[in-house]
Amino acid sequence: MKQQIIIPLEEFPEEGIELSGELDGSIFGIDCEDVRRIGPVEYRLEAQLYDTELVVRGEVSAPFRLRCMRCLGEIDYTVEIEEVSYAIDVKGKMSADVTDEVREDILLELPGYPKCELIGAECEINDKFGDFRLDKDPQPGVNCATPSGNSVWDALDQYPGK
């Protein structure tokens, strides 16, 4: 599967270029217990060239499996952005790559504190852990790892009651 969105600039048609397709989800470089990609990035974009500026607009989406921060259940959540917009200086370039722009936009849309409510579901309290973890928020954001390299959940796994 494609890993880049490349827009050719040679003989760019006046009416613009339409691009659509799928990108390999591995472009995100994330795959941990709390955030997993479960499908390709889908995109539908339109590119217009204005002198040396390429303007790209369109919609992108990508499905993820997230860990609910409250009950530790898994929820499938698709990031959908209906209107992305990029302006890229392409002076002297033969092609433009908007992969990074798309990746960053999608990552920014990932919920920082995923909960089952996100998809209209209710948390199932897992008795195994006890409900002391309810609404525990050890760190904001979907952090795969702490700066020390340990998952935020590693510390919790050492809880003696487990």
Taking CB under 5 A as the binding criterion, the range among 47-55, 71-79, 85-93, 99-107 that sits at the site for Zn ion is 71-79
Of 35, 41, 116, 142, the residue at the interface with Zn ion (CB under 5 A) is: 116
Contact flag: residue 96 with Zn ion (CB under 5 A): no
To Zn ion, the closest distance from the beta carbon of 116 in angstroms equals 3
- CA–CA gap between residue 95 and residue 135 (Å, rounded): 47
**Beta carbon nearer to Zn ion, 16 or 73:** 73
Residues 6+ apart with CB under 8 A from 48: 16, 54, 55, 56
Smallest distance from Zn ion to CB 74, Å:
9
Tokens (6 digits) for 72 = 């530790």
Of 31, 2, 36, the residue nearest 19 (C-alpha): 2
Question: Could you say which of 16, 63, 73, 111 contacts Zn ion (CB under 5 A)?
Answer: 73
69 binds Zn ion (CB under 5 A): no
Of 78, 104, 90, 86, which is closest to residue 19 (Cα–Cα)?
86
Of the candidates 70, 88, 101, 106, which one interacts with Zn ion according to CB under 5 A?
Answer: 70
Closer residue to Zn ion (CB): 87 or 134: 134
Give me the sign of the Cα torsion angle 28, 9, 53, 49.
negative
CA distance 44 to 56: 10
Q: Under the rule (CB under 5 A), what is the footprint of Zn ion?
A: 68, 70-71, 73, 116, 123
